[in-house]
């Protein structure tokens, strides 16, 4: 349920609503707009019905939220959310933010070399996995803590914020020490204990759509994070599993405008994991930007044939540079920038 406060509502009016809500075991979430303050109440329907909210001082109107995802919905917040990564970089505004880097962190030398290349091409943030969820238990699983330290060191040298995946609730605090954005991978989209743990973190969360998950399920997973108090959520479309086997996944370009209709959260695209091969990354990235994506996360490697993970879908730096130039034209056409 959403409570819209009057423009002239006082702090005492707000406090009264919050106190009554908490007494009934309801969890309030406050969203302050330019003109009005909105309070979202989450909890049992019986408790919500027990409160004569319309009669409370300072309350303008009460709106029931019909969607199962409450805090994520456009009903809760009409304007687009803009998620700050650093004081200078935000996701969800006019700028289309591009994260780029290798699938997995291999060494400081390699990561620094790739980071310098993608930064010079126009990427504003760096990706790199320290913990790698792999289909085979015998495949490279990542460098772990050593990888996080490398990521942090290169981030400082290049002055580029970073995103890396966290797989275990026990590692959230550790990863948060070294990375600017915590990534929840596709395989963990419905790992609810992990979602709750990152929900208690103060770091932005990049939530990828699951392999066979619906858009509703993606938004419900985002709701788990926000219900814990962390509203800094960035959604990511990375392709879903279908009957098609010519690509690694099937990129659902319609998910981008649909999510924007249903939710105020920003959404970026991962064309690398959708494609599975480097020569499809560019066309998918262009389609995502044209569809309204707020950013891209792209795998780049200086020697993809030697990469320990996902070399086949990694762009060479010169290919990435060309793609960035082409994407700038599309961004300009839709009144955005890269």
Chain-wide mean pLDDT for the chain? Answer: 92
Average pLDDT over residues 127-142: 80
Report, as an integer, the average pLDDT of 225-231: 94
Going by DSSP bridges, is the β-strand pair 90-91/83-84 parallel, antiparallel, or unpaired?
Answer: antiparallel
Per-residue pLDDT tens digits for 89-102: 999 999 999 999 99
For the ranges 30-39, 304-313, 327-336, the lowest mean pLDDT is seen at: 30-39
Q: Please state, in angstroms and rounded to a whole number, the distance separating the CA atoms of residues 153 and 116.
A: 13
In our burial notation (b when 16+ CB lie closer than 10 A, e otherwise), range 56-88 reads: bebbeebeebebebbbbbbbbbeeebebebeee
Q: Are 207 and 191 within 8 A, CB to CB?
A: no
**Mean per-residue pLDDT for 211-232?**
96
Q: What is the pLDDT of residue 294?
A: 98
The pTM score is 0.88
HEC per residue, 70-115: CCCECCCCCCCCCEECCCCCEECCCECEEEEECCECCCHHHHHHHH
d(C-alpha 290, C-alpha 193), whole Å:
35
- Residues 131/167, Cβ–Cβ less than 8 Å: yes
- In this predicted structure, the answer to whether residue 64 has a pLDDT above a threshold of 90 is no
CA 316 to centroid of chain Cα atoms: 25
Give pLDDT tens digits for 174-196: 999 999 999 999 999 999 999 99
CA dist 82 and 95 (Å) reads 11
* Eight-state DSSP code of residue 290: H
Based on DSSP, count helices (H) and strands (E) in the chain, helices before strands. Answer: 11, 14
Query: Which two tokens mark 308?
Result: 């320990």
Q: What is the DSSP string of 46-59?
A: HHHHTS-GGGSTTE
- Report the top-level CATH class of 2-63: alpha beta
* Sheet architecture: strand order including 37-42: 27-32, 37-42, 2-5, 59-63
Can 2-63 and 83-333 be said to share one CATH topology?
no
115 HSE (CA, 13 A, CB side)? 27
45 pLDDT tier (thresholds 50, 70, 90)? low
- Higher per-residue pLDDT: 34 or 292: 292
pLDDT for 32 equals 78
Give SS3 for 283: helix
Q: Which of 130, 137, 136 is nearest to 175 (CA)?
A: 130
DSSP code at position 253: T
DSSP state of 240: B
Please determine, looking at this structure, whether the domain spanning 83-333 carries the CATH number 3.20.20.70: yes
The dihedrals phi and psi of 56, each to the nearest 5 degrees, come to: -70, 145
Domain residue spans of the chain = 2-63, 83-333
Is the per-residue pLDDT at 1 higher than 90?
A: no
For residue 47, what pLDDT band results from cuts at 50, 70 and 90? low
Quickly state the pLDDT bin for 280 (edges 50, 70, 90).
Answer: very high
Q: Which of 276, 284, 256 is CA-nearest to residue 268?
A: 256
């Amino acid at each position: 349920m959403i409570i819209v406060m009057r423009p002239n509502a006082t702090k005492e009016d707000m406090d009264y609503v919050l106190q009554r809500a908490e007494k009934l075991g309801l969890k309030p979430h406050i969203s302050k707009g330019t003109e009005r303050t909105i309070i979202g109440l989450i909890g049992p329907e019986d408790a919500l019905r027990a409160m004569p909210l319309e009669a409370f001082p300072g309350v303008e109107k009460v709106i029931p939220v019909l969607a199962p995802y409450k805090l994520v919905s456009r009903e809760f917040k009409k304007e687009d959310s803009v998620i700050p990564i650093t004081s200078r970089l935000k996701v969800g505004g006019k700028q289309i933010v591009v994260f780029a880097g290798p699938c997995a962190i291999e060494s400081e030398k390699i990561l620094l070399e790739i980071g310098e290349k993608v930064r010079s091409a126009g990427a504003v943030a760096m990706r790199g996995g320290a913990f790698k969820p792999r289909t085979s238990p015998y495949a490279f699983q990542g460098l772990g803590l050593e990888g996080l330290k490398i990521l942090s060191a290169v981030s400082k040298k290049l002055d580029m914020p970073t995103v890396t995946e966290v797989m275990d609730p026990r590692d959230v605090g550790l990863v948060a020490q070294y990375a600017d954005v915590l990534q929840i991978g596709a395989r963990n989209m419905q790992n609810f204990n992990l979602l709750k743990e990152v929900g208690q973190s103060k770091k932005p969360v990049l939530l990828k759509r699951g392999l066979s998950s619906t858009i509703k399920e993606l938004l419900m997973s985002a709701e788990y994070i926000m219900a814990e108090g962390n509203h800094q959520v960035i959604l990511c479309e990375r392709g879903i599993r279908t009957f098609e086997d010519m690509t690694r996944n099937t990129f659902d370009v319609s998910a981008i405008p649909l999510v924007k209709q249903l939710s105020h959260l920003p959404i970026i695209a991962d064309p690398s994991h959708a494609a599975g091969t480097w020569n499809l990354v560019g066309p998918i990235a262009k389609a995502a930007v044209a569809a309204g994506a707020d950013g891209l996360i792209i795998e780049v490697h200086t020697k993809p044939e030697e990469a320990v993970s996902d070399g086949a879908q990694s762009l060479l730096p010169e290919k990435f540079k060309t793609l960035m130039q082409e994407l700038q034209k599309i961004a300009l056409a839709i009144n955005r920038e890269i």
